[in-house]
Structure 1
Amino acid sequence: MLYRKIESLIEEHLKSDSKKILLIDGARQIGKTYIINHVGKKLFENYIEINMIADSLGDRLFENTKTVEDFYLQVSMLAGNKMKNKENTLIFIDEIQAYPHLLTLLKFLSQDNKFTYIASGSLLGVTLSQTTSIPMGSIRKVRMFPLDFEEFLYANGMNELAISSMRKKFERFEALDESMHNKMLDLFRKFLLVGGLPDAVNAYLETKNIQAVRDIQDEIHDYYAADASKYDDEMKLKIRRIYDLIPSNMENKKKRIVVQSIENKRGKTFNNYADEFDYLISAGIALNVQVISNPTFPLIESTGKNLLKLYLNDVGILTGILYGNNIKAVLNDERSINLGSVYETVVASELIAHGHKLFYYDNRSKGEVDYLIDDYDSLSAVPIEVKSGKDYTVHSALNTFVQNEDYHIKKAFVVSNERKVTQNGKITYIPIYYIMFFNADWGNKNLQF
C-alpha cells in the first residue's frame, strides 16, 4: 500500500471529538476513496460507503433526500445492519458533488451527531459556490493531491530515518554527499516520468514498464479532458481546448495562457473564460499560478486576474505528452532537451501540495521570476527560480528583483540539479529535490538563513 501523508490527518480527525465532518476535495484518480476506505475500515467496526455518482446512475435513492430522517432511511436500505452508533459506525459519502443538496444536509447530520461521517468529492469549490446554504462551521474541507516527491520516495523503499536526515540537512542548508545526491537525482528524474497518480506509481513499482505507466497516464489524461459532463457542449469544448493547450503553453517563453489562442478569436478576455478556468482549477486537474507585479506581503493582496499560468496537476502526464516512451529525454539529461517546463510543473505541484498559494512575478522592464511564496516568519515574499540546465547561476531578473529595496526581500532560492548548497547575498542555491521540504509553515522551522 502506498504511504499517503493525509492518512494521519484523516485518522486524527476521525478519532477527535470534532463535530465537523471532514470533506476531502481533489481531482479524480488521486486516491481519495482508497485512503478513506483504508482508514475507515481500520478504525470502525461498521463501515458504510455510498458512492453518489453510482447512485445517480442507478437507483437514485439520494436524489431527493433533503432531511436527516430521509437520509437515514435510504442508508438503512443499503446497510441497515451496520448502522449502530457514533463510536463504531462511519458513513462515507463518496463523490458528494453528484448531489449538491447533500452538502447542505451535512450541517444537519453533524448537528444530529448520530453517526460519524466523512465525505469526498471533486469540483467541490464550484459545487459549494452553487449551493444555496453552505454548511459553514459544520465541515472541514481539506484538499488532496497526487503523491508528492516525498511520498514517491517512501513508495520506492526509502525510510523515515533517511528522509528525516535529509530534512535536517536542508534546514541547515547542507549538501548531501555525492553518492546520496546521485541517488536522489535518479529518483527525482524517475518521479518526473512516473508522476504521482497512484495507479501509475503502482504500475511502475510492479512492472518497471514505461509503456504500462504511460497507458495509465494517457487514460487519466483523456478522462480529465472529457470529464465536464455537467456543462453544455459549447462549454465542454472550451474547457477541453484550454486543457489541451497547457503543455504547448509550457513550451512558450512566457508559459502563460494566451486567451486569443483558445478559440482563435480576437477581442476575447479572461473574463470570457472565467467559468472554464474555474472548472479546471476547482477540478484539481490544473494548477493556477497568478501574476504579481507588486510583490509585497501578503501576496494575495497584489494578485492580478490576467496573465494566468496553468500547469498540469501531474508531472508524469506532462512528460508522457512531451516525450512518450522515450525515457532518455528525462533520465539522461540530454543537452538537446529543455526540461524547463517539466521542472516548473513539478515545483508547482510540490509547492501547492505543501500548502502554498502559487504566484509568479512579471514586470515588462524587469523580467519574470518563476515563483513567489509568502514567508509568514519574515512577513515578506520569497522568490524561487527553477533551473533545469547547467547555467543555474544566470538569472538577471531574479538579481534585479532581490536588489529592489521596495520589495523588502530577505531571501531567495534557485533550485537546480547542482549538488552543492551555496549562498550569494540573499540568494541560496539548493538541489531541486529539496523542494519537497518547502512546507507552508517552513518559516517557523528555525532555518539557518
Structure 2
Amino acid sequence: MLNRKVERELEAWHAAPQRTALLVTGVRQIGKTYIIRHFAASHYDHVAELNFIENPRLVSLFSTPRDAKNLLMRLELAVNTPLVPGKTLIFFDEVQECKELVTAIKFLVDDGRFDYALSGSLLGVELEDVRSVPVGYVTEVDMYPLDFEEFCWSRGVGADVFAMLHDHFVRREPVDSFIHDRLMDLYANYLVIGGMPAAVASFAANGSVSDVRTIQENIKREYRRDISKYARKEDRLHIRSIYDLVPSELNNANKRFTFSKIDKGLRFKAVAADFDWLVAAGVTIAAYNVNEPCVPLEMSKERNLFKLFYNDVGLLTSSFLKKTSLDVLDGNPDVNYGAIYENAMAQELSAHGFGLYYFNSKKWGELDFLVQDRNDVVVPIEVKSGKSYKRHRAMDNVLAQVDYHLDGGYVFGPCNVSVEDKVTYLPIYMAGLLSNE
C-alpha cells in the first residue's frame, strides 16, 4: 500500500457537512481507482462499482435525462451490491466514456440516499463539451504521480524527516550532512523510478530498474493509445509526434519546443490545439515564456513560446538509454542532468498548485522557472544539476532590476541550504516544500 497525500482530500470531502459527488481526475495509471477503492473499504459498508469501459452497456443508463428515482432503479438492477441508504458508495469508473453521467449526478446527489464517487482519465479533454457541469454538486480532486516526499514514504522514510526539512527550509539552516547525502541518493532513485504508482511499487518490491522501465514503457504506450482513441482523427499524428519529441526537445540547449521538428515549415497556429490537448489530458506540463517577470505572469505570457515536460520524471528518464539511468543512480558527474532535473521541478511545482512560466531575455539571460504564489509574489527559480550551481547570470541580472520588484530567488541543486544576498540555495529534494495550495 502506497501512502498518498490525496487521501487527506478524500477525508475532507467525506467529512464536509454538505455532501457532493467526488470526482477524482488524473492520467492513466495514477492510482485513481485504487485510492477510491481503498478509501471506500474503510468508510462504507457497501460499495457498488460500475466501470464504463469494462461494461460499455452501462452508458445507456444515462443516455437520456432521467430523474433520480428512475436512475436508482436502473442502478439497482445493474449492480450486485445492496444499495443501503447512508452506508453505500456508488463508484463510477472511467467516466470519460459516459459524459452524460456528470450532468445526471446532480439528481442523484439531490436524492441524498447514497454517496457517489467518479473517476476518469483525460477529463480535461473529454468533459469540455458536457452540456451542463453541475456547479456545487461535484468536488473535484486532482491526482498526480507521487511527489518526492511520497516516494520517500515508500522507501521507509517517515513524515518526521520532512517536518524537519520544512523547519530547515523556513529557518534557512543546512541539513545534517548524513541526512542530506541519504536524501540525495533517494532523489537519484526518484529521477529514475519517478512517481507512477506501479513503477514505485515494483521498485519497492524487488529493486529492479529493468522491471520499472518495462512498466514505464507500457504506460507511455497507453498514453499513445489514448491519443489514437480520444483525439480528433486529423490531429492524432501531430499529437503523437509532439509527445514523442519531448525528451529530445528538453535535451536542447534552450529546451524550448521547436515546431519545425513536428513538420518542416509548420507554424504554431496549426498545432496550438494539439499542444493544448496534451496539457489538458495531463500527460504533459507546459511552462510559458513571459515578457517580463512581473505580476500578473499570466498577462505577459507568450502563447507560442514554451517548454514542454512529461508529467512524470521517470517516464522522461526511461526515454533515454539504460546507461543514462545507471549514471543517474551512480551520480556520474560527467552526465548532464539538466533536462531531468527541470522535468522533476516542473512536476513538483505543478502538483503543488503552481502555474509554470519562465523568462528568456537576450539582455538578461534565461530563468528556468517563474511562479506566482498565493500572495501574488513572483518567485524566480533556477535549477542546477552540477557543482557550478552558484553561477546564475540570469538570476543575478533580474534580481538587480528594481523595476521588477523581486524580493529574492531560489536556486535548487546538489547543494545544502545556504543564503547569499537575495539568493537562497536549496537542495533539489526540497522542491516539494514550495506549495501554493
Same fold (TM over 0.5): yes
Return the alpha-carbon distance in structure 1 between the equivalents of residues 289 and 70 of structure 2.
47
Q: In structure 1, what residue type is equivalent to 2:116?
A: Y
Q: In structure 2, what residue type is equivalent to 1:108?
A: F
Within 5 A, what are the aligned runs for 1:38-437?
38-56=38-56, 60-62=59-61, 64-67=63-66, 68-79=68-79, 81-85=81-85, 87-228=86-227, 229-264=229-264, 266=265, 268-324=266-322, 327-377=325-375, 379-419=376-416, 421-437=417-433
Q: In structure 1, what residue type is equivalent to 2:364?
A: K
Tell me, yes or no, if structure 1 residue 439 matches structure 2 residue 435.
yes
Mapped contact 1:288–1:308 kept (Cα < 8 A): yes
Q: In structure 2, what residue type is equivalent to 1:413?
A: Y
Q: Cα deviation per residue 1:220-257 (whole Å; 9 max; x = unaligned)?
A: 11211221202344321111000001000001111121
1:431 CA displacement = 0.8
Mapped contact 1:369–1:384 kept (Cα < 8 A): yes
Return the alpha-carbon distance in structure 2 between the equivalents of residues 72 and 55 of structure 1.
18
Residue ranges of structure 2 left out of the alignment (5+ in a row): none
Q: Which moved more, 1:318-327 or 1:138-147?
A: 318-327
Residue ranges of structure 1 left out of the alignment (5+ in a row): 442-449
SS in 1 for 2:53: helix
SS in 2 for 1:134: coil
1:327 CA displacement = 3.5
Q: Cα deviation per residue 1:162-190 (whole Å; 9 max; x = unaligned)?
A: 22112111111111111111100000000
1:219 CA displacement = 0.7
Return the alpha-carbon distance in structure 1 between the equivalents of residues 120 and 323 of structure 2.
32
SS in 2 for 1:384: strand
1:141 CA displacement = 1.7
1:149 CA displacement = 0.3
1:134 CA displacement = 2.1
Mapped contact 2:48–2:81 kept (Cα < 8 A): no
Q: In structure 1, what residue type is equivalent to 2:151?
A: F
Go from structure 1 to structure 2 and tell me whether the alpha carbon gap of 1:65 and 1:82 turns closer, same or farther (over 3 Å shift): farther
Q: In structure 2, what residue type is equivalent to 1:71?
A: L
Return the alpha-carbon distance in structure 2 between the equivalents of residues 218 and 108 of structure 1.
41
With normalisation by structure 1, the TM-score equals 0.93
Return the alpha-carbon distance in structure 2 between the equivalents of residues 259 and 384 of structure 1.
26
Mapped contact 1:323–1:329 kept (Cα < 8 A): no
Mapped contact 2:372–2:378 kept (Cα < 8 A): yes
Return the alpha-carbon distance in structure 1 between the equivalents of residues 74 and 29 of structure 2.
27
SS in 1 for 2:145: coil
Question: Percent identical across equivalent pairs?
Answer: 36
1:81 CA displacement = 4.5
Return the alpha-carbon distance in structure 2 between the equivalents of residues 81 and 317 of structure 1.
38
Q: In structure 1, what residue type is equivalent to 2:340?
A: V
1:60 CA displacement = 4.4
Mapped contact 1:369–1:397 kept (Cα < 8 A): yes
Return the alpha-carbon distance in structure 1 between the equivalents of residues 420 and 340 of structure 2.
26
Q: How many residues align?
A: 435
With normalisation by structure 2, the TM-score equals 0.95
RMSD between aligned residues: 1.7
Q: In structure 1, what residue type is equivalent to 2:346?
A: A
Q: In structure 1, what residue type is equivalent to 2:334?
A: S
SS in 1 for 2:135: coil
Return the alpha-carbon distance in structure 2 between the equivalents of residues 426 and 261 of structure 1.
39
SS in 2 for 1:83: coil
SS in 2 for 1:181: helix
Return the alpha-carbon distance in structure 1 between the equivalents of residues 403 and 259 of structure 2.
32
SS in 2 for 1:360: strand
The answer for the alignment partner of 1:26 in structure 2 is: 26
1:65 CA displacement = 4.7
Return the alpha-carbon distance in structure 2 between the equivalents of residues 385 and 289 of structure 1.
14
Q: Cα deviation per residue 1:273-304 (whole Å; 9 max; x = unaligned)?
A: 23312221121110111111122223222222
Mapped contact 1:218–1:317 kept (Cα < 8 A): yes
Mapped contact 2:318–2:325 kept (Cα < 8 A): no
Q: Which moved more, 1:199-208 or 1:63-72?
A: 63-72
1:78 CA displacement = 2.7
Mapped contact 2:124–2:282 kept (Cα < 8 A): no
Q: Stretches of 4+ moved more than 6 A in 1?
A: none
Return the alpha-carbon distance in structure 2 between the equivalents of residues 250 and 101 of structure 1.
39
